[in-house]
Amino acid sequence: MIGLKVASDRALLDALALLVDDLDPTPESVAVRARSALVERSSSDMITMRLLSDSVHAPGRPRELAFTGLDLRFDPVVGGWEVTGPARAGTSVVARWPGGQVTAAVAAGRFHVERVPFGPVRFVLRGADASGRDHVTPWFVA
């Protein structure tokens, strides 16, 4: 330990890198999920919706996010989230997560998704503009 105490900054950081690699390595499951991310890409002609607000700063209440095309309210259910909200345009909302998705109709300006799993998710608003293009949120951890 005395040797590390007097080591150069680079030597100390190199020792730290070796130790972290040994004690907290990147799990193989994380690398596998990373490698599979490429197949989850959306069509390149989708429009990305902008995040307007996120109630993450108000702990203890259901999380609510507002995007340019729709709002999302997350209420906990067994194994995931029930997601509801108004959609300001479009015919349906698709909730997507790695390896799965579910579609909900927009009725009277609102949609309801019974369950999305915990973890990364994104939402697609089908036919959201006059040209019929889809709008999509960025990926985020729900």
Partner 1 sequence: MRDRDNTELLIDADRGDTAAWHEIVRRYARLVWAVPRSHRLSREDAADVCQATWLALAENLSRIRRPERLGAWLVTTTRRETLTVLRLRGREVPLDLWEAADDGPTPEERALARDAGLWRAYATLTDRCREILRLAAFAPELSFTQVAEAVGIPVNSLGATRGRCLAVLRRRLGVEVGR
Binding site for partner 1 (CB under 8 A): 1-2, 4-5, 9-10, 12-17, 19-21, 23-27, 29-31, 33-35, 37-38, 40-42, 44, 54, 56-57, 59, 63, 98, 118-120, 122, 138-141
Q: Nearer Cβ to partner 1, position 39 or 108?
A: 39
Residue 139 CB, nearest distance to partner 1 (Å)? Answer: 4
Q: Nearer Cβ to partner 1, position 86 or 117?
A: 117
Annotate 12-31 with DSSP letters as a single string: HHHHHHHHHHHHSPPPHHHH
Query: Could you tell me if 84 and 123 are in contact, meaning their C-beta atoms sit under 8 angstroms apart?
Result: no
Q: Nearer Cβ to partner 1, position 58 or 105?
A: 58
Q: Which tokens go with 109? A: 């300006």
Could you tell me whether strands 140-141 and 71-77 are parallel, antiparallel, or unpaired per DSSP bridges?
unpaired
Residue 109 CB, nearest distance to partner 1 (Å)? Answer: 28
Q: Nearer Cβ to partner 1, position 40 or 109?
A: 40
- The region that residue 6 occupies, defined by phi over 0 for left and psi between -120 and 50 for alpha, beta otherwise, is alpha
Residue 5 CB, nearest distance to partner 1 (Å)? Answer: 5
Amino acid (one-letter) located at 15: A
Residue 120 CB, nearest distance to partner 1 (Å)? Answer: 4
Query: Could you tell me if 97 and 90 are in contact, meaning their C-beta atoms sit under 8 angstroms apart?
Result: no
Distance between CA atoms of residues 71 and 56, nearest Å: 14
